Amino acid sequence: MIFRTRVPAPPLSQFVESLWLYEGLEANHTKEKLLPNGSVELLIDLAGGPKNLYERQDLRRHVTYRNCWISGMHRSFIVIGVQNGSSMMGARFRTGGAAPFFGFPISELSGNVIELELIWKREILALRERLLEATDVEARFDLLQAYLLKKAQSRLEPDGAISVALGKLRNWPVISLRQLASQLGLSHKQMISRFDSRVGLTPKATSRIFRFQHALLRAHQACAEIDWCDFALSCGYYDQAHLIHEFQQFAGVTPAEYVRTRTEFPHYLRLD
């Protein structure tokens, strides 16, 4: 299996965390959970054939996607199909970074996975064809980077207020949202509107995901038995019960279950 990433050049790097590609996937399972990571993700299938997104509450039911799709910000895990030999590439947008590439509020993508042909029409399929014709990994990254730059055109200007707000929401303790809005010189309603347009979730939901991400990465890296009470408090939760509640919301498992079933990738859990 080949797995490669590239950090795009400025100014794209302010909005896109990474470009990625894998070829010849090797897996011994058919379904996995993808946990919320605070990102909007663009995906392009380089192998062909349908890819499945399963219902969380009934894994017998699924929706099929083909060619290219966009996955918005999610408030809980999603369940995706895994196929041996598959090859894909994509772009992971930074939190709040996807807005310049779409002509509508990013909240319209939130909680959804949408085939990109419905949004970017035939041009995204034309890009996929060019990617399939390019056999060199770096050439493929060049093509995707150039496409995204062209797609954003002159809109690659950060929203300063959102950038400051996201920075503050990543820290603990988190200040109140009204206090945050006041520091930004915005009304509470204006701040909510800006988050709706640029981030896709409310400030409160975004803050919860950031806190979960911090706890998730710490749990993933833990190599000794964890005192979950101390762990919860050090990650900004009120107590162990609060930590467990948030893990069940975002990952569908308790923190201890996550540690027992973790894989080499912190945001993925095998289901079979």
Domain ranges of the chain: 2-152, 160-200, 204-270
DSSP 3-state assignment of 269? strand
Helix (H) or strand (E) holding 120: helix 117-133
pLDDT of residue 173: 78
CA angle 172, 173, 175 (to 5 degrees): 115
DSSP 3-state assignment of 102? coil
pLDDT of residue 49: 86
Does residue 172 carry a pLDDT above 80?
Answer: no
More confident residue, 93 or 48: 93
User: Phi and psi at residue 215, in whole multiples of 5°?
Assistant: -65, -40
Helix (H) or strand (E) holding 266: none
- What is d(CA 13, CA 52) in angstroms, rounded to the nearest whole number? 30
Average pLDDT for 61-84: 96
The residue written with tokens 């060049």 in the block is 142
pLDDT of residue 75: 95
pLDDT of residue 171: 85
Give me the long-range contacts of 120-126 (CB less than 8 A, separation at least 24): 120/151, 124/67, 124/68, 125/67, 125/68
pLDDT of residue 220: 97
Q: How confident is the model at residue 161 (pLDDT cuts 50, 70, 90)?
A: very high
Q: How confident is the model at residue 153 (pLDDT cuts 50, 70, 90)?
A: confident
Quote the percentage of the chain above a pLDDT of 90.
91
The residue written with tokens 């509640």 in the block is 245
Does residue 30 carry a pLDDT above 90?
Answer: yes
Give the burial class of 141: count Cβ atoms within 10 A of its Cβ; 0-12 exposed, 13-18 middle, 19 or more buried: buried
Average pLDDT for 135-161: 94
User: Phi and psi at residue 166, in whole multiples of 5°?
Assistant: -65, -40
pLDDT of residue 176: 87
CATH: 1.10.150, 1.10.287, 2.40.50, 1.10.10. Which one for 204-270? 1.10.10
- What is d(CA 244, CA 52) in angstroms, rounded to the nearest whole number? 29
Helices (H) and strands (E) in the chain, counts: 9, 11
Helix, strand, coil % in the chain, rounded to nearest 5: 45, 20, 40
Average pLDDT for 25-39: 94
CATH placement of domain 2-152: 2.60.120
Q: What is the mean pLDDT of the chain?
A: 95
